[in-house]
Structure 1
Amino acid sequence: MVHDELAELLGAFLAAVSFRRGERPGYGRIHDLFLPEGLLIRNSGPAPEVTTVAQFIEPRQATVDSGALTEFEEVETAARTEVFGQVAHRFSAYAKRGVLDGVPFAGAGMISTQCVLTPLGWRISSMAWDDERPGLTVAEIEMPDSARAA
């Protein structure tokens, strides 16, 4: 079923960025999940930060390589998926936690992921996200109970 394939695609992305203390993240696997021209857009600051997959990975890998980021986990907590033919959109709530410079952190937010069906299967064409902050919480977003992620 297409919805399951899209859940697996986003799950593979989250698994690639997540890692336990003493492990290494699988950032290299992200390339296979996106179209070659795919974009990642962080929109939780004053202006959107638009990056290619390589530009997304580079500073994160440097933070891990320096020893500053020693663990990170991001999980989907709820989602709504819409599909029309060979295009799809998955709107996901997420929770994240990690340790940066020895200090634990945690947060949550929403990811909007656009996907297209290719000869190789579903791929992400773009992903945009925003984090919770004062006045903006995931709890304000209505997600159907049947769409809660496992």
Structure 2
Amino acid sequence: MDITGGEAASTSDQTEIEALVRAFFSAFTTGPDAGARLDDLRRIMLPGATIARTCGLPVEVYDIESFIAPRRTLLTSGDITEFEEWPEPGRIDVFGDIAHWWGAYSKRWRTGGEVHTGRGMKTMSFVRTDDGWRISSAAWDDER
């Protein structure tokens, strides 16, 4: 999947960042491996990473643990089913040891027998570490 919005990534940095973007979005999928995908966020994010939600509400800022906990409940409780979220084409900018992804995303889920959909925009910042690129922050806003 090309999430850069243009030609396939031509550098190893962009390829690694694309993989992190996909891993971040794949964490938000119901199913038997939901917990493991959420746990993987700890690997792909810096320990002090922040995640911010706007969505027309007062801004809420999470650390990794406070971000994972309610999503684990949501994705494993059975209240919603068939939830998935995926990136649409976006843009990756790399400069030295910092990078940024900006792009749209879509999501769909079933609750109460009805299918629901949504879209929004996400931004993710990355830093290069001794272990490769890691997400240092993310923020999103959903369409109203």
Who is 2:40 aligned against? Answer: 29
Alpha-carbon offset, residue 103 of structure 1: 3.2
Rate the CA distance shift 1:121–1:79 in 2: closer, same or farther, 3 A.
same
Residue 17 (1) aligns with residue 38 (2): no
Q: Is the 8 A contact 2:30 2:76 kept in 1?
A: no
Who is 1:80 aligned against? Answer: 91
Residue 6 (1) aligns with residue 17 (2): yes
TM-score, normalized by length of structure 2?
0.84
Alpha-carbon offset, residue 27 of structure 1: 0.8
Matched residue SS, 2:21? helix
Who is 1:66 aligned against? Answer: 77
Matched residue SS, 2:56? coil
Runs of 4+ residues deviating >6 angstroms: none
Who is 2:123 aligned against? Answer: 112
Alpha-carbon offset, residue 101 of structure 1: 4.3
Q: 1:96-121, CA deviations, whole angstroms, 9 ceiling, x for partnerless residues?
A: 11123443211111101000000110
Q: Is the 8 A contact 1:80 1:92 kept in 2?
A: yes
Who is 1:46 aligned against? Answer: 57
Q: Percent identity?
A: 38
State how many pairs are aligned.
131
Who is 1:139 aligned against? Answer: none
Residue 98 (1) aligns with residue 121 (2): no
Q: How many angstroms apart in 2 are the aligned matches of 1:71 and 1:24?
A: 13
Q: 1:76-127, CA deviations, whole angstroms, 9 ceiling, x for partnerless residues?
A: 1111111110000100111111123443211111101000000110000000
Q: How many angstroms apart in 2 are the aligned matches of 1:12 and 1:81?
A: 16
TM-score, normalized by length of structure 1?
0.81
Q: How many angstroms apart in 2 are the aligned matches of 1:65 and 1:19?
A: 7
**RMSD between aligned residues:** 1.4
Q: How many angstroms apart in 2 are the aligned matches of 1:50 and 1:11?
A: 22
Q: How many angstroms apart in 2 are the aligned matches of 1:15 and 1:96?
A: 11
Q: 1:16-75, CA deviations, whole angstroms, 9 ceiling, x for partnerless residues?
A: 22235xx34121111111000011111113211100111111111122333212221111
Q: How many angstroms apart in 2 are the aligned matches of 1:89 and 1:77?
A: 15
Which structure 1 segments of 5+ residues have no match?
Answer: 134-150
Which structure 2 segments of 5+ residues have no match?
Answer: 1-11
